[in-house]
């Protein structure tokens, strides 16, 4: 069995190398734009040139243009087209793995073994800061608003309630209800998207995946979210009913998991 630490490092290295190549391309764009403007002018000038001008100069022009074409083709190899839908799916898949690792670090935070607890606390806090740096909450708000404006409004309210709860201005029950509403109404909207005719009453997660996730996209990553939805629904229901009281860090954690859940699904699902 492969060491997951080596696989994680291999994935990171691949993405890092791709970005380095992309930066090289970005740095080259201004110079390439100059080449295009000169080539466009040449094409315009030569396209309507009189034969008596072109004919005696054809040899020299052909030699120069062939030389230009050969060096341009060597300098600028064709770039493979990026599949943006697949890129979104890869974002969802990678986010799902990161979210899974986060659950591991978050659970380790409560260990009685000090080195494990310290490891879990350190990386859990890093992950919450990473979510903020990636502006994941704002991205989820936009995704939900595009899916259904009322869902965006509910998510905005849930976010506001979580912040107020962390500041001790409202109860955990109110925050729990707001987050649970988002979770349950989001699933309902997925069902509406997947439903093929009005008489369909219920679809399971694999059926929704088959209808909403493109072939070639890892549908298993979508199906895995059923377990996450069930966990979140149970946890938020207990919070909403006042059956549990949790620490502020746990409240941050469950909201982060809600954000991840929605982001992963909407990255994998093609809604247009």
Cα–Cα–Cα angle for 221, 85, 223, rounded to 5 degrees? 15
**For position 89, what pLDDT does the model report?**
87
**For position 110, what pLDDT does the model report?**
92
Q: What is the mean pLDDT of residues 113-135?
A: 96
**For position 214, what pLDDT does the model report?**
81
Tens-digit pLDDT profile for residues 134-150: 999 999 999 999 999 99
**For position 246, what pLDDT does the model report?**
94
pTM of the model: 0.87
Whether residue 215 has pLDDT greater than 80:
no
**For position 79, what pLDDT does the model report?**
87
Tens-digit pLDDT profile for residues 55-82: 989 999 999 999 999 999 999 988 888 8
**For position 270, what pLDDT does the model report?**
65
Tens-digit pLDDT profile for residues 17-66: 999 999 999 999 999 999 999 999 999 999 989 999 889 899 999 999 99
Write down the mean pLDDT value for the chain.
92
Whether residue 243 has pLDDT greater than 80:
yes
Q: What is the mean pLDDT of residues 83-103?
A: 91
User: pLDDT band for position 200 (50/70/90)?
Assistant: confident
Min mean pLDDT across 14-28, 91-105, 122-136, 203-217 is at 203-217
CB distance 170 to 164 below 8 Å: yes
Residue by residue, DSSP assigns 84-142 as HHHHHHHHHHHHHHHHHHHHHHHHHTT-SSHHHHHHHHHHHHHHHHHHHHTTHHHHHHH
Q: What is the mean pLDDT of residues 236-256?
A: 96
**For position 242, what pLDDT does the model report?**
95
Return the closest-CA partner of residue 183 out of 211, 158, 220: 158
**For position 1, what pLDDT does the model report?**
76
Min mean pLDDT across 13-22, 182-191, 200-209 is at 200-209
**For position 39, what pLDDT does the model report?**
94
| E strand or H helix at 267 | helix 248-268
The three-state secondary structure class of 201 is coil
Cα distance between the two ends of the chain: 39
Residue by residue, DSSP assigns 133-187 as HTTHHHHHHHHHHHH-HHHHHHHHHHHHHHHHHHTTSS-HHHHHHHHHHHHHHHH
Whether residue 119 has pLDDT greater than 70:
yes
């Amino acid at each position: 069995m492969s060491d997951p630490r080596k696989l994680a490092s291999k994935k990171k290295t691949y993405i890092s190398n791709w970005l380095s190549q992309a930066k090289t391309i970005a740095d080259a764009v201004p110079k390439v734009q100059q080449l295009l403007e000169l080539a466009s002018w040449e094409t315009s000038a030569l396209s309507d040139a009189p034969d008596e001008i072109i004919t005696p100069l054809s040899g020299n022009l052909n030699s120069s243009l062939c030389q230009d074409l050969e060096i341009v083709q060597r300098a600028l190899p064709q770039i493979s087209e990026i599949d943006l839908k697949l890129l979104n799916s890869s974002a969802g898949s990678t986010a799902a793995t990161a979210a899974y690792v986060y659950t591991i670090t978050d659970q380790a935070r409560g260990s009685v073994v000090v080195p494990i607890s310290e490891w879990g606390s350190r990386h859990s806090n890093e992950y919450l800061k990473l979510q903020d740096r990636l502006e994941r909450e704002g991205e989820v708000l936009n995704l939900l608003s595009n899916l259904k404006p009322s869902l965006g409004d509910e998510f905005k309210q849930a976010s506001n309630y979580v912040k107020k709860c962390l500041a001790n201005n409202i109860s955990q029950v109110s925050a729990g209800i707001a987050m649970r509403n988002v979770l349950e109404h989001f699933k309902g909207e997925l069902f509406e998207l997947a439903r093929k005719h009005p008489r369909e009453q219920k679809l399971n997660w694999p059926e929704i995946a088959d209808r909403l996730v493109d072939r070639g996209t890892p549908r298993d990553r979508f199906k895995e979210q059923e377990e996450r939805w069930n966990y979140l629904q149970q946890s938020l229901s207990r919070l909403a009913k006042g059956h549990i009281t949790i620490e502020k860090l746990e409240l941050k954690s469950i909201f982060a998991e809600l954000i991840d859940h929605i982001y992963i699904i909407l990255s994998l699902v093609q809604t247009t």
